[in-house]
A and B are shown apart, each in its own frame.
Chain A
């Protein structure tokens, strides 16, 4: 695939290139979706819709199913039930439109790569095996690094960077893709205050550009508040709705309390959820989410 000069965000759709279509099809649509590993369901009955320019935050403790849902959306894990369409297709068929930030990067230590090489990889999905990277790509890479405040580290070896600087590099890689859908697994992990601010700003810019975001996070104050929807997960969908509806002290206490492996307490919380769920879900229906 050779790539003549193009404005990536609005290029013609040849092989699923970024188009940021505004025809109203949801970018992500889940209907009674079941997710999990090797046929073992981690979370069942997930239904939500993500439209252009919107963001959804997944909130829950470790093991609550956040990463599993993200991996299912990007096509790394098969669906275990229900339906999931991403850009109207089965997951895993839109490499040019989706950028994914993994939680772990195992090889960061041995790879002889400069920070800029890592960020450039964000352009690979758009160019495939053959497509030439031109000056425009370089500019996009540079501007992505600038927006994460690491343009001065471009020539530094990745392994010489601190954990936070590496995380900024990975985020810059995601931004350099200029994808339609950003799928981020705990992107703010390890960032310092300055990094967090830059990251939140960058996400805001991506949303303004018309991209959509799915983000797994622990940050209910800023990151989740920036999102249009919040999905509370505790190996099941505890609640879904706007941040105002869902991010209430009692709900959060229950979400994060539910994984305490104390049978008695679990039982009490489950019962309470049973009551509250209906309330939240009807709220959500009213909102037309």
Chain B
């Protein structure tokens, strides 16, 4: 039992990491649910990585990374919105280019810094074991805001996920609520990058919610599953990395992805079994 609890009770950095991790999981569960339902995974990925140059510049000039991330995210949202509206190509192509362009720009900027690899690793994979109280407070506020928006916009978000045109006819502006969703993804990425890094926050955004989508019959249940899986990944990832001396952020996301595939396989087996039984029953 001690193996499971002591790391958190006797090390304040582990406890802080766990608290921050739980908050990130909640935010990612809410936002990730809509990312999956609306098929925004690619945009989410692009946003998560596109903030890199912002963070890089912030680090170079000695600003808090979170401000740089916010500026980077604002730029990405502007770019993605323009592309989606104007592009005659499939918007994937243009968003993909924007995404690698920003990523490269970020790496180029960071390569100017003195501790190139150290900074880059920190940004890409996060620094969950170095989380302080201020970062936790910011994360708490962001998570509360995201939850409140999700409650207020529950109906338009649901309609939007169901059918864009139906949402528009029902009197909910597709553009407005789509942009609110993008802002929620951006906010999650911006406040979570310190915890799990820009490379891995995307994993927490879609792996728990993806597993939830496989299990749930209702959107609320999908979010609840996603929170459960997210918190479970945080806890076990931290524990695994503590006991075996592994990279923390990566361990957390690895657990989240593993949970997804376990659920996926179990569901497939169950489904096959169900179909067979039905076929037997109906002849």
| Set B162, B165, B170, B218: member contacting A95, Cβ < 8 A | B170
In the complex, are the beta carbons of B169 and A74 less than 8 A apart?
yes
A129 at the interface (CB under 8 A from B): yes
Contact with B along A135-169 (1 / 0, CB 8 A): 00000000000000000000101000000000000
Residues of A within 8 Å of B92, CB to CB, are none
The number of residues on chain A lying at the interface, defined by a beta carbon within 8 Å of a beta carbon of chain B, is 29
A residues near B39, Cβ cutoff 8 Å: 107, 110
Chain B stretch 146-200: residues in CB contact (< 8 A) with chain A: 152-153, 155-156, 158-159, 161-163, 165-166, 168-172
User: Which residues of B in the span 192-244 have a Cβ within 8 Å of any Cβ on A?
Assistant: 212-213, 216-219, 221-222
A114 touches B155 (CB 8 A): no
Bound Cα distance A95, B169 (Å): 6
Q: Is the CB of A125 within 8 A of B170?
A: yes
The minimal Cβ–Cβ distance linking B177 to chain A, given in whole angstroms, is 10
On whether the beta carbons of B171 and A128 are closer than 8 Å, the reply is: yes
Cβ–Cβ contact A112 & B169, under 8 A:
no
The residue of chain A having its C-beta at the shortest distance from the C-beta of B274 within the complex is A160
Q: How close is B174's CB to chain A, nearest CB, in angstroms?
A: 10
The contact string, 1 if C-beta is below 8 Å from chain B, for chain A 27-67, is: 00000000000000000000000000000000000000000
Instruction: Indicate whether B36 reaches chain A with its CB closer than 8 angstroms.
Output: yes
Chain B contacts of A118 at CB under 8 A? 162
Pairwise interchain contact A107-B162, C-beta atoms closer than 8 A: yes
- A100 at the binding interface (Cβ < 8 Å): yes
For B154, the closest partner residue in chain A by CB is: A129
CA distance A113 to B159 in the complex (A): 11
Tell whether, in the assembled complex, residue B169 and residue A105 are in contact, meaning their CB atoms are under 8 Å apart.
no
Contact of B162 among A98, A99, A105 (CB under 8 A): A105
Closest to A114 in B: B217
Please measure, in the bound complex, the distance between the C-alpha atom of A92 and the C-alpha atom of B168, giving whole angstroms: 8
CB of A193 within 8 Å of the partner chain: no
Is A271 engaged at the interface, CB distance under 8 Å to the other chain? Answer: no
0 or 1 for each of B62-96: is its CB under 8 Å from A? (1 = yes): 00000000000000000000000000000000000
For window 112-171 of B, CB contacts with A under 8 Å fall at 152-153, 155-156, 158-159, 161-163, 165-166, 168-171
Contacts of B221 in A (CB 8 A): 112
Q: Mark A3-25, 1 if CB is under 8 A from B, else 0.
A: 00000000000000000000000
- Residues on B with C-beta less than 8 A from A129 are 152-153, 155-156
Any chain A CB within 8 A of the CB of B37? yes
Say yes or no: A157-B217 contact (C-beta < 8 A), given A107-B37, A112-B222, A124-B155.
yes
B37 contact from A110, A124, A127, Cβ within 8 A: A110
Quick check: B163 and A107 within 8 Å, CB to CB? yes
- Asked if A121 meets B36 with Cβ closer than 8 Å, knowing A74-B169, A113-B219, A129-B153, the reply is no
A95–B39 CA distance with the chains assembled, in angstroms: 26
Q: Report the separation of the CA atoms of residues A124 and B159 in the bound assembly, to the nearest whole angstrom.
A: 9
CB distance from A99 to the nearest CB of B (A): 8
Shortest C-beta distance, A119 to chain B (Å), equals 12
Partner of A114, one of B152, B159, B213, B218: B218
Q: Which of B159, B171, B221 has the most CB of A within 10 A?
A: B171
Complex contacts, B219 vs chain A, CB 8 Å = 111-113, 117
Q: How many angstroms from the CA of A180 to the CA of B225 in the assembled complex?
A: 40
Q: Which residues of A contact B163 (CB under 8 A)?
A: 102, 105-107
Q: Which A residue's beta carbon lies closest to that of B225?
A: A112
Bound complex: CA A95 to CA B159 (Å): 13
Rounded to whole Å, the gap between the CB of B190 and the closest CB of chain A is: 26
Of chain B, the residue at the smallest CB distance from A127 is B155
B161 touches A107 (CB 8 A): yes
Q: Which residue of B lies closest to A177 (CB)?
A: B170
Beta-carbon contact of A95 and B171 below 8 Å: yes
The answer to whether A111 and B162 have CB atoms under 8 Å apart is yes
Listed in ascending order, the chain B residues whose CB lies under 8 Å from chain A are 36-39, 152-153, 155-156, 158-159, 161-163, 165-166, 168-172, 212-213, 216-219, 221-222
| Sample of 18 more A-B contacts, CB < 8 Å, known A92-B168, A124-B158 | A75-B168, A92-B169, A100-B166, A105-B162, A107-B39, A107-B161, A110-B37, A111-B162, A112-B212, A112-B219, A113-B162, A113-B218, A125-B171, A128-B171, A129-B153, A129-B156, A155-B217, A157-B217
Binding site for B on A (CB under 8 A): 71, 74-76, 92, 95-96, 98-100, 102, 105-107, 110-114, 117-118, 121, 124-125, 127-129, 155, 157
5 A-B pairs within 8 Å (CB atoms) are namely A107-B162, A112-B222, A117-B218, A121-B170, A129-B156
Nearest first, the 4 A-B pairs at minimum CB distance are A95-B171, A125-B170, A100-B169, A112-B216
